[in-house]
Amino acid sequence: MDKNFQRKDLLGIRNLSADEIKTLLQTADTFRDVSRREVKKVPALRGKTVINLFFENSTRTRTSFELAAKRLSADAVNISVSTSSVAKGETILDTAMNLDAMAPHIIIVRHGSAGVPHQLAKVSRASIVNAGDGSNEHPTQALLDAMTIKEHKGEILGLNVAILGDILHSRVARSNVHLLTKLGATVRVAGPNPLVPNDFCGLVNNGLTICPTIEDALENADVVMVLRIQKERMNDAFFPTMREYSIYYGLTKDRLKLAKSDAIVLHPGPMNRGIEIASDVADGSSSLILNQVEYGLAVRMAVLYLLSGGNENKEQ
């Protein structure tokens, strides 16, 4: 029996071992069934409290975590920044400590700045789950992407994965690059020059290649991940116009032909149709975008389940 996941918090993929990732994915696989049943609820986390603390907008991730908690019979509370005391000037740490005093078991945090969940993890007794911190990490997204890939490709080991778009600002890309290289995939990233760092997560030559054009990255790919152009983070002139971006970097049907004929297409959502991904690709037979959402729920159930298992006095 492997009990390979015994952490207090889930802050990122970077520090996880391949075994821990596999345990998470394996557990998630069994939780998929729960959402396919007539009664979509099991009593595993009865009496536990889960708080969703979101300082950034989110529909998919917040709903997914909330449903995951509810389907495990935990009580879920949502706090969004517009209604919180942070709007009245309270610091994040004070907010977190006050929430912690109400003795929740798990706090799920999304924040626009990197490292916020890590800071909260130091002061709170509750387990902290990072639901996205700035451009740093988004671990459950990488896990659900991995689950989608595994489900459709069998194994992650040996696959060619292309990640396209705004690599620089993408926590999704960071978490995915860590996860996929740990499990033995070859990852190629490409996008507009100013949005692709020369080295990324220190992983170049360690399973990661930076490609000059997206055509290079797509060549022979098994999996194509398209990232969202994050208009909210585009303060500088990284590329001239959205129109130009879609012409040079958008994933179109023709470009997708460079990948393997059975390649799958992923997008973390929300999509900018016609910009980073053409509508006929997003709705096409290679697209698994809605499967990702289904697996996301299972992954988050697995995370909540594993974190709530007798994790007191455990060191991170």
Partner 1 sequence: MGDEINLVEKSRIMNSASIKRALSRLASEIVESNQGAENLYLVGIRRRGVPLAEVLAKNITQLEGIAPLFGILDITLYRDDLSTVGANPVVNRTELNEDIEDKNIILVDDVLYTGRTIRAALDQLMDFGRPNRVQLAVLVDRGKEHRELPIQADYIGKTVPTKRSEIIKVMLKEFDDVEAVGIFERPTE
Nearest CB to partner 1, comparing residues 105 and 171: 105
Contacts of 73 (CB under 8 A, 6+ apart): 41, 42, 43, 44, 45, 46
Q: Of 223, 90, 226, 49, whose CA–CA distance to 153 is shortest?
A: 223
Contacts of 229 (CB under 8 A, 6+ apart): 165, 166, 242, 245, 272, 275, 276
Q: Does 3 bind partner 1 (CB under 8 A)?
A: yes
Nearest CB to partner 1, comparing residues 6 and 209: 6
Q: How far is the CB of 306 from partner 1 (least distance, A)?
A: 6
Q: Does 2 bind partner 1 (CB under 8 A)?
A: yes
Q: Does 43 bind partner 1 (CB under 8 A)?
A: yes
Tell me which residue has tokens 């170049």.
Answer: 204
Q: How far is the CB of 263 from partner 1 (least distance, A)?
A: 29
Interface with partner 1 (CB under 8 A), residue from 15, 17, 19, 33: 33
d(CA 28, CA 33): 9
Tell me which residue has tokens 């455990």.
Answer: 314
- For residue 54, the surrounding DSSP H or E stretch is strand 49-54
Residues 108-137 interacting with partner 1 (rule: CB under 8 A):
none
Binding segment toward partner 1, per CB under 8 A, in 93-101, 175-183, 271-279, 308-316:
308-316
d(CA 115, CA 120): 9
Q: Does 295 bind partner 1 (CB under 8 A)?
A: no
Q: Does 44 bind partner 1 (CB under 8 A)?
A: yes
Q: How far is the CB of 140 from partner 1 (least distance, A)?
A: 17
Residues lying near partner 1 in the complex (CB under 8 A) are found at 1-3, 5-6, 26-27, 30-31, 33-34, 37-39, 41-45, 72, 305-306, 308-311
